[in-house]
Each structure stands twice: as C-alpha cells, then as structure tokens.
C-alpha cells in the first residue's frame, strides 16, 4: 500500500484539529475538553481495523469528574477567602479538605484518560500494522507526556 493510501485511510476517518487549538480548548474549559476530544473522535477511532475499541462510559465519567473537580476547586477558593477574611482556621481546614478531594478526583481522571491515550495508540498501531501492512511508529514517551496532543499530531500528519 502506498504512502498516499495510508494517509487517506486515516485522514478520511478521524477529525483533524490543530494541536494548538486543542491546547487552547483544554485551557479554556479547565480540562473538560480532554475527554470530549475522545468522544468527538470515538466513532471514527472504533471504525479502524483493530480488535480494541473505545467505550463512551469512561469519557463521560471523565467529564463528570472534571466538572466535579472544577466545582470543588471553586468551593475551596471561596472557603480560603472566607478563612482569610474571618481569620477562622476551621474554614481553612475545610478548604484544605475540599482541595485534597479535588486533587484525588483529578488524579483518578488523569490516570484513566492516560490509559485511554495508550489504548488509542494501540488501536492506531494495530490498524496500520494489521490492516494496512505498515509499521508506523507511535512513541510511548510522546504519548505519555503529550497525550491527546501527540495523538492529534499523528492524526494531522496523515493528510
């Protein structure tokens, strides 16, 4: 299969977006766009020739946890402001407790979505190797550090 056929095989299936725009969306939405990125590409990724498929539930779970985390961060900030204004250590202790819960939720959803990034990486590798007969490299390190930014970069390269 020629390079042009490989490029066409993925570019017709998966939505292309500039990586910088993804970074802006993540920043503007306080991270909620991260699981949305998967949901907007879910059908196209699942249509690729691979035994592994993505489910919607984990990404909806991510959106819910990111939303709860954002709400808890706001509550923590309000409690810290009240604690400073009143000089009350009880409000500060509550703010620290809410902040700890927020951190745990963020960690859980972050690890969950990182695992999904590696799953998408495997789907891409299987599709290219098994279906198209090409061994396209997808860096594990880049997937770990840049996650959806790297995956989108790889998608964008295949025009």
- 50-101 per-position pLDDT tens digit: 899 999 999 999 999 999 999 999 999 998 988 888 888 888 898 899 999 9
Name the E strands within the chain: none
Nearest Cα residue to 104 out of 144, 79, 73, 78? 73
**Integer Cα distance of 8 and 13 in angstroms:** 9
Domain count, the chain: 1
Range of the domain at 116: 3-157
CA distance 150 to 37: 12
Q: What is the pTM of this model?
A: 0.84
The 8-class DSSP code of residue 48 comes to S
107-125: pLDDT as tens digits: 999 999 999 999 999 999 9
Q: What does the angle CA 102 – CA 104 – CA 108 come to, to the nearest 5 degrees?
A: 115
Distance CA 32, CA 4 (A): 35
What pLDDT score was predicted for residue 11? 44
């Amino acid at each position: 299969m020629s390079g042009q056929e490989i490029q066409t095989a993925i570019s017709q299936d998966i939505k292309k977006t500039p990586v910088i725009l993804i970074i802006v969306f993540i920043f503007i939405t306080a991270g909620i766009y991260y699981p949305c990125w998967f949901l907007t590409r879910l059908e196209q990724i699942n249509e690729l020739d691979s035994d592994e498929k993505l489910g919607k539930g984990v990404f909806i779970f991510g959106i819910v946890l990111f939303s709860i985390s954002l709400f808890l961060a706001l509550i923590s900030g309000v409690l810290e402001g009240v604690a400073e204004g009143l000089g009350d250590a009880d409000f500060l202790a509550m703010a620290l407790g809410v902040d700890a819960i927020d951190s745990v939720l963020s960690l859980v959803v972050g690890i969950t979505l990182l695992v999904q990034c590696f799953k998408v990486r495997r789907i891409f590798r299987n599709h290219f190797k098994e279906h198209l007969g090409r061994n396209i490299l997808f860096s594990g390190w880049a997937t770990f550090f840049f996650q959806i930014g790297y995956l989108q970069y790889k998608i964008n390269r295949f025009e």
